[in-house]
Amino acid sequence: MTVVTEQFASFDGTRLAFHTEGEGRPVILLHGLFSSAQMNWIKWGHGARLAASGFRAIMLDFRVHGESEAPRDPAAYPPGVLVRDVVALAGYLALEPGEFDLVGFSLGARTAIHAVAHGILEPRRLAICGMGVAGLSGWARRADHFKRVIDEFDTIKPGDPAYTARTFLKSQGVDRVAARLLLDAMDDFDLAKLANLTMPTAVICGDEDQDNGSAPDLAALLPDARYVEVPGTHMNSVTKPELGEAIAAFLAA
């Protein structure tokens, strides 16, 4: 399948890139922190799997990530900025409520949950990957970890718990100034609002992935959810074919 890359202006004029693969029912895919559509969805064939299953994979690069712009102006990071970017993409593509599916990994999962729980997006089906309860309600602690990675970037050494994230951040060439501003634009999530996620939902997580807390516990809090276990840790589950297969199987059901 051919991947087509385009850009559009988000709500504040920031230029964002998105990549499409396949034809059929649209699926918006949202990647993880410091990653990109290329790293999460394209490189490991997940977009191609969805395309082969009859979907149109629409893979956004969040601002500060991938081929999207990374403004250094604090005004470019209002509260809920990533949700607003996804809404802008849906509007740009004229996607109607209930006519598209939504998939997120880690940061992308948080963003998808915030958007749906607050009634801003209404996907037909929702797939939450690499996310547990603590990654929602305890975001401030998780964000502090990543802020430390940025603030102490040049002094973090092998053996430090932050070293893996530091290495990944460096490999992706993320603008650290812009990334710090983005982290400050996110807040914790009120778990009571999970009751608003009424569409069929899959909580998909690696069997060794506890980075964002318990995925089975998250699934148990949702009105219509199933927990799906795939192989891997938080860092490598996205590299395995089972993740894309699980997403495609759920969306096609």
Render 36-60 in DSSP notation, one character per residue: -HIIIIITTTHHHHHHHTTEEEEEE
Residue 179 lies in a domain: no
Contact indicator for 54, 48 with CB cutoff of 8 Å: no
> Which pLDDT value is given to residue 82?
97
Q: What is the CATH number for 198? A: 3.40.50.1820
Asked whether the predicted pLDDT for residue 139 surpasses 90, the reply is no
Tokens 């860092």 belong to: 235
Residue 169 lies in a domain: no
- pLDDT single digits (tens) 74-91: 999 999 999 999 999 999
> Which pLDDT value is given to residue 142?
85
Q: How far, in Å, CA of 46 to CA of 30, rounded?
A: 12
Residue 246 lies in a domain: yes
> Which pLDDT value is given to residue 34?
94
- Residues 186-215 have a mean pLDDT of 96
Give the Cβ contact number of residue 42 at 10 Å. 21
> Which pLDDT value is given to residue 141?
85
Q: What are phi and psi of 167, to 5 degrees?
A: -65, -40
> Which pLDDT value is given to residue 143?
87
Residue 103 lies in a domain: yes
Residue 116 lies in a domain: yes
Residue 157 lies in a domain: no
By CB atoms closer than 10 A (0-12, 13-18, 19+), residue 160 is middle
- Residues 103-115 have a mean pLDDT of 97
C-alpha of 1 from chain center = 22
- pLDDT single digits (tens) 16-66: 999 999 999 999 999 999 999 999 999 999 999 999 999 999 999 999 999
Residue 37 lies in a domain: yes
Asked whether the predicted pLDDT for residue 223 surpasses 80, the reply is yes
Residue 70 lies in a domain: yes
> Which pLDDT value is given to residue 105?
98
Report residue 188's pLDDT band, with 50, 70 and 90 as the boundaries.
confident
Q: Helix count (H) and strand count (E) of the chain? A: 10, 8
- Residues 180-185 have a mean pLDDT of 94
Contact indicator for 69, 16 with CB cutoff of 8 Å: yes
Contact indicator for 247, 204 with CB cutoff of 8 Å: yes
Asked whether the predicted pLDDT for residue 1 surpasses 80, the reply is no
Report residue 102's pLDDT band, with 50, 70 and 90 as the boundaries.
very high
Report residue 117's pLDDT band, with 50, 70 and 90 as the boundaries.
very high
Report residue 140's pLDDT band, with 50, 70 and 90 as the boundaries.
confident
Q: Which residue range forms the structural domain that includes residue 93?
A: 3-138+188-252
Total domains present in the chain? 1
- Residues 205-229 have a mean pLDDT of 97
Tell me how far CA of residue 230 lies from CA of 123, 140, 241, in angstroms: 23, 27, 9
